[in-house]
Structure 1
Amino acid sequence: MTTVLTCTELDAGYSQGRPCVRDFDLELQEGEVLALLGPNGAGKTTVLLTLAGLLPSLRGTVDIAGHQVKPGHARGASEGGLVFVPDDRALFTTLTVEENLRLAVKSRRNWAAARDTVLGHFPELDKRLKVPAGALSGGEQQMLAIGRALVQNPKVLLIDELSMGLAPVIVERLLPVLRTVADTTGTAVVLVEQHVQLALAVSDTALVLRHGTNVLQGKASDLAGDPKLIEDAYLGAAGHPHPGVAEPSTVA
């Protein structure tokens, strides 16, 4: 398989010399879905912002499809094929659903195919194309945010807190779409999500951050089968060996 995202010895944070994420390593393969988990304040969003080039790294490297991205160079990350969906969705609320999607399509000639792709995943948006994004429900707004990301044909898709403000039944509807996208297009997905079991159900691998440190990493199916292992990682317990799961690193 092809590696599409690599970061090595990444320190991330908001002031030089005071990283809130330390020595973060990640290698993501084409079509892989990674659940990036951890309690509030663990550094998950900081990692995504740094990978997307919206926050300069304090140390380490980020490579997208074999090309190193300059720290804090969001355009370079985007040109490399990385697309970031933030937790506030960043929609143009006064523009219609169609206008939001059209702005993300790189070529007008690709508009019809791009629209059909989005509506294939989210048929609920078909009758809402002429509606301002600000008038959509929370679930519809998240569909639009994900759809706008997909029409950019990302190699790497980062999604921060997909479930923010949404009912669990909507989250259960949206998460499998990411699995389908990864399987059918080869897009690699990094998913930050507080609904742990729902996230693990659609992921290949999972990683738990606590206080900016990777304390647990392994196959999503293994972690889903041992909730106590994740609970220990969240709370700072030592953890215990599990087949196929990397032994936790030292907890900060």
Structure 2
Amino acid sequence: MTGELLTCEGVDAGYTTGRPVVRAFDLKLLPGEVTALLGPNGAGKTTLLMTLAGLLPRLGGSVALDGRQIRGGRAREAARRGLVLVPDDRSLFTQLTVRDNLTLARRRHGSTLDQVLDFFPALGKRLKVAAGMLSGGEQQMLALGRAMIQDPRVLLIDELSMGLAPVIVEELLPVVRRIAEDTGTAVVLVEQHVRLALEVADRAIVLVHGETVLSGPAAGLAADPGRLERAYLGE
């Protein structure tokens, strides 16, 4: 037993057979581990997360959870197995209340509302408010809470900071770290705020034009910003 929760080997991701956007992507995730997936716009990060979540057919390679293969392009199967995506648009039911958004996402015998509110106590005072009336930060809390109430094994978070002020991002990212540590959930975090992402991550991977150009412990990469900059520039 390796203890690995999620294993990706040689994954090709994209929209057209024979023309992958992301090529030969490898990843091994342990329970409770946070991996920051970094790179410039257009690198293929969102495409990769959508592929892992089964929203796009996998063009090549394999994905396994707990050593069992997950078929590509089967979003419902992936979610049932515990691969849960928080998309960059949050995809909330804006006309429904916070409570209703969480109740609809909850699985039988899954996490309770109180358990979710333990991570996001600010939502406790907003349970009767329509999701569309929340602030951007509150909407992101709800999107994360809706994912957590599904009891994910692996949480795929796409651009948590989208449309948010940096001070809000600084508050939310440590909660992601706490979720991983307290629940054993593995996290793949796509984030443009590189410094903040590296502060909460265990490891980091840099994608450029669909290729993995750099990977390693997050602390080591944070200590060498010049190396990161060169990776972003493709040097």
| CA deviation after TM superposition for structure 1 residue 122, in Å | 1.4
| CA deviation after TM superposition for structure 1 residue 116, in Å | 1.3
- Does residue 163 (structure 1) correspond to residue 161 (structure 2)? The answer is yes
Indicate the percent of aligned positions where both proteins have the same amino acid.
Answer: 65
Contact 1:8 1:61 in 2 (8 A): yes
- Does residue 210 (structure 1) correspond to residue 211 (structure 2)? The answer is no
| CA deviation after TM superposition for structure 1 residue 104, in Å | 1.2
- Match of residue 233 from structure 2: 235
Partners of 1:2 and 1:138 lie apart in 2 by 37
Give 1:99-114 correspondences, 5 Å limit.
99-107=100-108, 114=112
Show structure 1 runs of 5+ residues with no match. Answer: 238-252
Deviations 1:25-65 (A, max 9, x none): 11111110000000000010011011001001111111122
- Does residue 90 (structure 1) correspond to residue 88 (structure 2)? The answer is no
- Match of residue 14 from structure 1: 15
- The alignment partner of 1:3 has SS state of coil
**Normalization by structure 2: what TM-score?**
0.97
- Does residue 29 (structure 1) correspond to residue 23 (structure 2)? The answer is no
Contact 1:65 1:80 in 2 (8 A): no
Partners of 2:75 and 2:125 lie apart in 1 by 34
Partners of 2:20 and 2:26 lie apart in 1 by 15
Bigger radius of gyration: 1
| CA deviation after TM superposition for structure 1 residue 79, in Å | 1.5
Partners of 2:65 and 2:156 lie apart in 1 by 13
Deviations 1:203-252 (A, max 9, x none): 00000000000000000000011111110000011xxxxxxxxxxxxxxx
How large is the RMSD of aligned CA atoms in angstroms? 1.1
Show structure 2 runs of 5+ residues with no match. Answer: none
Give 1:54-133 correspondences, 5 Å limit.
54-107=55-108, 114-133=112-131
Deviations 1:93-120 (A, max 9, x none): 111000000011112x66xx62112221
Among 176, 179, 193, the residue aligned to 2:177:
179
Tell me the matched-pair count.
Answer: 234
| CA deviation after TM superposition for structure 1 residue 2, in Å | 2.2
- Match of residue 195 from structure 1: 193
- The alignment partner of 2:36 has SS state of strand
Partners of 1:147 and 1:71 lie apart in 2 by 26
Contact 1:155 1:187 in 2 (8 A): yes
Partners of 1:120 and 1:73 lie apart in 2 by 31
**Normalization by structure 1: what TM-score?**
0.91
Contact 1:67 1:80 in 2 (8 A): no
Contact 1:10 1:59 in 2 (8 A): yes
Partners of 1:171 and 1:36 lie apart in 2 by 16
Partners of 1:146 and 1:193 lie apart in 2 by 15
- The alignment partner of 2:55 has SS state of coil
